[in-house]
Amino acid sequence: MSSLLFVHIAKAGGTSLRRLLKSHEGISRFDCFHNGFLLRFENGRRVGRYRVELNSLEKYDVAVIALRHPLARLQSCYRYFLSGGLNGRGKGVFPDDLRKKEFLHSVAPNFSVCCQRLAEISEQIPHFRPASAWFDSTVGPPAKSLVCCRQESFSADVNGFLRVLGLPSSGGLEHHNKGLAGSSWAVSSNIVDLRLVKDFYRKDFSLFGYESRRSGSLPLVQYWNELEPPFLVVERMDSWKSLNPGWEYRRFDRQTAADFLGEAYDMEIAAAFLDIRLPAMQADVFRVGFLLHCGGLWVDAVTSTMRSVDSWIDRRHSLQMLRRDHQEYPKIATQIIYAARPCLPLLCAVWNEIVPRLLARSGETVYRHFGPGLFRDLMISRPSLALGLHIISESSVRNSLLIGSSSSVLPAEQHWSKRQERESLYMSGE
């Protein structure tokens, strides 16, 4: 028996992790438990497939499990089977997946109905079952050491897992079983739907730590396109990290942001992100994608803080954005955005405008089609999206923050507003 077990939970990045385990030169043998079957691998090849119960296996030295936020995983499962599963990928004819598609179309023609009928659906399609269901019959953990690789921090978690095995870190992970090209990406903004999901997957939320990401444990995220930002930018970014030890500080560059988008959404989106020429537009796209998926606090890299976030964020409001002193309603600034939880309706609406535009390599201006102007236009056309939005006025945080601009660290001719006049928004455009 192998000393390594991989518990493959559907629609959580497991196929990518399995491919890594098969190809890694330091891993000659491992077992994979997936939907009631044990798959045994040696030297990258499958050498056995057995119907087993997880509880019947001997305890392994190390077990690794791929996880994903329950709501995001549910959305991925729904979209996957509604599109035909493997049949929708042009990989041949799979009668069982066709049956699942027909069943899902009949009982849950939209996502809201899916949320209402999760118990019934999961009986017919095991992918919809809570991730914790695969452990319900076990007596204790399946291994002496259990490592979780969450899709929200997949690359970092995988490298941490490899270190547990005493192996070197891996490079960028290839993403498999990505969403269908051209498929729409949308989340439910119905609070009833979200409560139903939370109830059905309540054990996943608590067992795998998704319930604990609240209050000060939310991520505080910043972005600079280069791996090594200018010294002045580093100083300002470090102020957020040093003054907010209770927050999960995360700094992204162009490549790590693309990795995140590929893992959280789709590799086609990640590729389109890497095609964006202007760093300001990269930040506009990434901030929405990250906050929609994870929640947290976004702060532009050139803004510094003199006080902790908890001294000026009002946690009674789930969505908060900055408005500069020279701006009037409905204009908004995006230097600071606080999202108390994932999947907030305004962010969902903005993302659903950004993604088709990004995939088509379209859009005329950064501000209107990807940045603050997009927020403004949506709040004008769909006023209900702004319900619950709390405005942070620049004057109210003047003693706490130094709100900066990229013009303070970049030459005037490199400002995004000047570059978009003479350059394509996408590198493939020239």
Q: Which of 95-104, 133-142, 164-173 has the highest mean pLDDT?
A: 95-104
In CATH, what number is assigned to the domain containing residue 25?
3.40.50
Tens of pLDDT, residues 112-146: 889 889 999 999 998 999 988 877 666 556 777 77
Claim to verify: residue 301 and residue 368 sit in the same structural domain? yes
- Provide the 10 A C-beta neighbour count for residue 413: 8
Q: Specify if 405 maps to a domain.
A: yes
Which pair of structure tokens corresponds to residue 139? 């007596």
The conformation of residue 288, written as its DSSP 8-state character, comes to H
Q: Specify if 126 maps to a domain.
A: no
| Pairing, β 319-323 against β 389-393 | parallel
Claim to verify: residue 264 and residue 400 sit in the same structural domain? yes
Claim to verify: residue 149 and residue 13 sit in the same structural domain? yes
Instruction: Evaluate if residue 97 carries a pLDDT over 70.
Output: yes
Q: Specify if 123 maps to a domain.
A: no
Give me the pLDDT at residue 179, please.
Answer: 45
Residue span of the structural domain in which 39 resides: 4-68+131-164
Q: What angle do CA 68, 73, 74 make, to 5 degrees?
A: 150
Claim to verify: residue 137 and residue 245 sit in the same structural domain? no
- Provide the 10 A C-beta neighbour count for residue 251: 17
Q: Give CA–CA dist 276/287, Å, rounded.
A: 14
Instruction: Evaluate if residue 183 carries a pLDDT over 90.
Output: no
Claim to verify: residue 154 and residue 244 sit in the same structural domain? no
Claim to verify: residue 144 and residue 234 sit in the same structural domain? no
Give me the pLDDT at residue 1, please.
Answer: 45
Long-range contacts of 98-104 (CB under 8 A, 24+ apart): 100/124, 100/125, 104/78
Q: Give CA–CA dist 423/420, Å, rounded.
A: 5
Q: How many domains does the chain have?
A: 2
Claim to verify: residue 224 and residue 372 sit in the same structural domain? yes
Closest by CA to 297, choosing from 359, 248, 348, 343, is 248
Claim to verify: residue 260 and residue 157 sit in the same structural domain? no
Closest by CA to 44, choosing from 26, 62, 63, is 26
Q: Specify if 196 maps to a domain.
A: no
CA distances from 310 to 135, 314, 395 (A): 38, 8, 17
Tens of pLDDT, residues 38-93: 899 999 899 999 888 777 777 788 888 888 888 888 988 998 898 888 887 766 77
In CATH, what number is assigned to the domain containing residue 264?
3.90.550
Claim to verify: residue 322 and residue 410 sit in the same structural domain? yes
Note the pTM of the prediction, 2 decimals.
Answer: 0.56
> Do 102 and 184 contact (CB within 8 A), yes or no?
no
Claim to verify: residue 160 and residue 253 sit in the same structural domain? no
Instruction: Write the DSSP assignment of 157-214 as a string of letters.
Output: HHHHHHHHTT-PPP-PPPP-SPPPTT--------HHHHHHHHHHTHHHHHHTTSTT--
Which pair of structure tokens corresponds to residue 21? 């385990």
Tens of pLDDT, residues 280-309: 999 999 999 999 988 999 999 999 999 999
Q: Give CA–CA dist 405/302, Å, rounded.
A: 6
In the chain the first and final C-alpha atoms are separated, in Å, by: 55
CB under 8 Å to 296, separation ≥6 — which residues? Answer: 218, 219, 220, 221, 248, 290, 338, 339
Q: Specify if 81 maps to a domain.
A: no
Q: At what angle do helices 254-264 and 267-275 cross, to 10 degrees?
A: 150
Q: If you average pLDDT over residues 380-386, what whole number do you get?
A: 82
Claim to verify: residue 149 and residue 234 sit in the same structural domain? no
Q: Specify if 93 maps to a domain.
A: no
Please give the mean pLDDT across all residues of the chain. 83
> Do 121 and 128 contact (CB within 8 A), yes or no?
yes
Closest by CA to 299, choosing from 252, 336, 248, 333, is 336
Claim to verify: residue 280 and residue 344 sit in the same structural domain? yes
Which pair of structure tokens corresponds to residue 324? 């500069």
Bridge partners of 66, per DSSP, are 149
Give me the pLDDT at residue 190, please.
Answer: 58
Q: Specify if 366 maps to a domain.
A: yes
Instruction: Evaluate if residue 176 carries a pLDDT over 60.
Output: no
